[in-house]
């Protein structure tokens, strides 16, 4: 009986998460591998919710970092692996990792237009060329 109760609670949580996702205005998929992002340039509108889904097609864990950006309502879902989430748990403003072969989703609202550098914070990856650009355009 106890297990049934827990399962029902989990299901309720999942349903809630899906309902939240459907409000995303901009949804994009980004592929990660050794060593880059595809696409490397991501354009999103300011002031609206963005949902980026990362698919790691590489053999090792990668992440997505943007620092020095004004964002709100940051959350992460999926196979984020051993390190780092967004928001208060990260040293960076946006930070989500994705396990090898995994998928993870980063939700945020960018508040100001501008061009922001993207990089992978796994040691040596930025130097190997794992960088990109997040372009936030005003409405
Ligand atoms: Cu990487």
| Tens digit of each residue's pLDDT (9 = 90 or more) over 68-100 | 999 999 988 887 765 554 444 567 899 999 999
Domain assignment present for residue 85? The answer is yes
**Is-contact 108 72, C-beta < 8 A?**
yes
In a domain, 13, yes or no: no
Domain that holds residue 132: 24-137
Distance from the alpha carbon of residue 12 to the mean position of ligand 1, in angstroms: 34
Domain count, the chain: 1
What is the whole-number distance in angstroms between the Cα of residue 130 and the centre of ligand 1? 6
96 in any annotated domain: yes
Q: Alpha-carbon distance 58 to 115, whole Å?
A: 26
Q: CATH no. for residue 84? A: 2.60.40.420
Ligand 1 centroid to Cα of residue 29, in Å, is 16
**Rounded Cα gap, residues 134 and 109, in angstroms:** 13
Burial annotation 16-55 (CB, 10 A radius, 16+ → b, else e): eeeeeeeebeeeeebebbebbbeeeebebbbeebbbbbbb
Distance from the CA of 35 to the center of ligand 1, in angstroms? 6
The model's pLDDT over 12-55, given as tens digits with 9 standing for 90+, comes to: 555 444 444 445 589 999 999 999 999 999 999 999 999 999 99
Distance 138 CA to ligand 1 centre (A): 29
In a domain, 78, yes or no: yes
- Model pLDDT, residue 79: 76
């Amino acid at each position: 009986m106890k297990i049934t109760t827990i399962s029902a609670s989990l299901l309720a949580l999942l349903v809630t998460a899906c309902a939240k996702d459907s409000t995303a205005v901009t949804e994009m998929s980004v592929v990660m591998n050794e060593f880059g992002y595809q696409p490397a340039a991501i354009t999103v509108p300011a002031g609206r919710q963005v949902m980026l889904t990362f698919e790691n097609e590489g053999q090792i864990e990668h992440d997505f970092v943007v620092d020095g950006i004004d964002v709100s309502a940051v959350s992460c879902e999926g196979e984020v692996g051993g390190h780092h989430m967004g928001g208060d748990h990260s040293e960076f403003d946006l930070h989500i990792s994705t396990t090898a072969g995994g998928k993870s989703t980063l939700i945020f609202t960018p508040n100001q237009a501008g061009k922001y550098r993207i990089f992978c914070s796994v040691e040596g990856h930025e130097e190997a060329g794992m960088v990109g650009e997040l372009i936030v355009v005003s409405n």
